[in-house]
């Protein structure tokens, strides 16, 4: 999997409470990118941004109120994290220059990114970790935490692989960090942010159509968490033909939205046969929206109405 394709996995889970929690850090260094800090380091818990640092402000900022609870038992926590990020900034900048030399590059836009983190199963207490580096949008090197050896994705990474594989100090540090330190802090963050991270919010569901001949789009927006599925059924059975899924996208308020299109001519004969189904992990009942012409927000004029309303204005009005 390409390190830089941030794939939002949509899991078809039903009546199951999520038990896998994740702590992720993305560290990005870039050269000659206008109006963008040279180094940015962002932390996430269960996909929710918890911390931000960049080389302009040189300070780690909390992005969630509940993250500040950790200072009750560790008053110097944020200063310590800032000190670590300042050090990582210098290391990453140096690493970027080394990579440019390895690839015989002098100028232009170049980006190096580290992705690291861990996951914890709060039911089995199993923990896993990951540590990957990419350069200019492609995988470069990663740590295999089953064998505790590095995997070089590019020939230029082999010298680092050989050096790090033989460095017992580095490997012992990595083992401690990914099997103990990272999961320990992940558990603290989840405990402090449980009300936010473990909440469930059901969406509003709309049927949208630009013209009578356009596909019908079923949109669900305002749900949380992102462990959800949205699909079309016909006569009670899920269908895959003439169906196109949109991306899972974040809303400004921390919730999510997703959509799925159905290519069908909406006639009286098909009304009631099709239905859009939204399924959210941890919620027993599905949200079912039947395909009926009167339920579709459309650009087309409604029968008996003089004015023509766009589906966007109707959608916005319905959300108020």
What pLDDT tens digit does each residue of the chain (320 aa) get? 444 333 333 333 333 344 789 999 999 999 999 999 999 999 999 989 999 999 999 999 999 999 999 999 999 999 999 999 999 999 999 999 999 999 999 889 999 999 999 999 988 999 999 999 999 999 999 999 999 999 999 999 999 999 999 999 999 999 999 999 999 999 999 999 999 888 899 999 999 999 888 999 999 999 998 889 999 999 999 999 999 999 999 898 889 999 999 999 999 888 889 999 999 988 989 999 999 999 999 865 444 443 333 444 444 444 44
C-alpha 203/C-alpha 185 separation (Å) is 31
pLDDT at site 58: 96
Return the pLDDT at 310.
42
Q: How close are the terminal C-alpha atoms of the chain, in Å?
A: 41
Evaluate if pTM is beyond 0.85.
Answer: no
pLDDT of residue 226: 87
Q: Which CATH superfamily is domain 204-319 in?
A: Immunoglobulins (2.60.40.10)
| Sequence spans of domains, the chain | 20-197, 204-319
Do 39 and 94 meet the contact criterion of CB atoms below 8 Å apart? no
pLDDT at residue number 300 = 57
Note the pLDDT of residue 16.
Answer: 39
| Assigned architecture for domain 20-197 | 2-Layer Sandwich (3.30)
Amino acid 2: pLDDT: 45
């Amino acid at each position: 999997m390409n390190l830089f394709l941030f794939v939002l996995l949509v899991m078809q889970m039903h009546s199951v409470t999520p038990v896998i929690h994740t702590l992720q850090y993305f560290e990005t260094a870039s050269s000659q990118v206008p109006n963008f800090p040279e180094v940015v380091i962002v932390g996430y818990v269960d996909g929710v941004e918890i911390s931000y640092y960049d080389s302009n402000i040189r300070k780690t900022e909390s992005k969630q109120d509940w993250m500040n609870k950790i200072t009750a038992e560790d008053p110097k926590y944020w200063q310590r994290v800032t000190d670590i990020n300042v050090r990582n900034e210098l290391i990453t900048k140096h690493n970027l220059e080394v990579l440019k030399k390895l690839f015989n590059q002098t100028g232009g836009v170049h980006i190096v990114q580290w992705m690291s983190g861990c996951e914890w199963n709060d039911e089995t207490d199993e923990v896993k970790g990951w540590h990957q580096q990419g350069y200019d949008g492609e995988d470069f090197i990663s740590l295999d935490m089953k064998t505790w050896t590095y995997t070089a994705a590019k020939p230029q990474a082999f010298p680092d692989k050989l050096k790090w594989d033989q460095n017992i100090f580095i490997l012992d540090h990595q083992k401690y960090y990914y099997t103990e330190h990272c999961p320990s802090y992940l558990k603290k963050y989840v405990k402090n942010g449980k009300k936010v991270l473990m909440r469930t919010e059901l969406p509003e569901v709309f049927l949208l159509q630009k013209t009578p001949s356009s596909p019908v789009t079923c949109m669900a927006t305002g749900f949380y968490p992102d462990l959800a599925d949205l699909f079309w059924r016909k006569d009670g059975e899920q269908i895959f033909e003439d169906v196109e899924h949109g991306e899972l996208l974040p809303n400004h308020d921390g919730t999510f939205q997703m959509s799925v299109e159905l290519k069908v001519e909406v006639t009286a004969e098909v009304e009631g046969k099709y239905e859009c189904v939204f399924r959210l992990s941890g919620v027993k009942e599905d949200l079912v929206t039947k395909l009926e012409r009167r339920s579709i927000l459309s650009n087309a004029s409604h029968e008996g109405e003089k004015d023509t309303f766009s589906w966007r204005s109707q959608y916005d009005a319905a959300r108020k």
